[in-house]
């Protein structure tokens, strides 16, 4: 039987080494997930509580690390701060018409560049009713009660 060329042996060694590194990274990543800080529990029914908030045209649903963190009525101009136990901080500016990410401790600042989401523009935005801060795992969603309009062509 003929021996494989030396270059083929080297390639196989490199491939197996790369697979071993990927396997170790996956295992370490899975083991590290148990140490995440606790957040307020998500509500079972995420429908906004509109009692006493008749002036709100819309609501902001805030999720952190995949769990519902808060529901804020868009009834007045104010800032909402999300301060996580691990040091990540996001500040959202709310108005009666919408919201925007005002500041974030993330490195890339893409969430701030996503601009304002309003009752008037959310059907035309590329991300629709969302602003996402992936490094801090924060998701913001505009919810307009009773809205059934299909999204328009996004503004590009």
Q: Per-residue pLDDT tens for 66-92?
A: 999 999 999 999 999 999 999 999 999
Q: Per-residue pLDDT tens for 3-37?
A: 656 677 777 766 766 666 666 666 666 665 544 44
Q: What is the dihedral of CA 53, 57, 62, 66, to 10 degrees?
A: 110
Length of the chain counted residue by residue:
156
């Amino acid at each position: 039987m003929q021996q494989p060329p030396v270059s083929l042996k080297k390639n196989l060694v490199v491939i197996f080494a790369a697979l071993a590194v990927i396997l170790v990274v996956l295992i370490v990543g899975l083991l590290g997930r148990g140490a995440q800080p606790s957040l307020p529990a998500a509500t079972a029914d995420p429908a906004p509580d509109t009692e006493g908030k008749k002036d709100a045209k819309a609501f902001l649903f805030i999720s952190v690390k995949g769990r519902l963190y808060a529901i804020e009525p868009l009834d007045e101009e104010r800032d909402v701060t999300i301060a996580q136990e691990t040091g990540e901080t996001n500040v959202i500016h709310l108005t009666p018409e919408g919201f925007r990410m005002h500041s974030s401790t993330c490195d890339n600042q893409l969430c701030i560049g996503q601009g304002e989401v309003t009752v008037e523009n959310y059907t035309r935005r590329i991300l629709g009713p969302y602003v996402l801060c992936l490094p801090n795992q924060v998701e913001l969603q505009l919810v307009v009660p009773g809205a059934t309009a299909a999204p328009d062509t996004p503004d590009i």
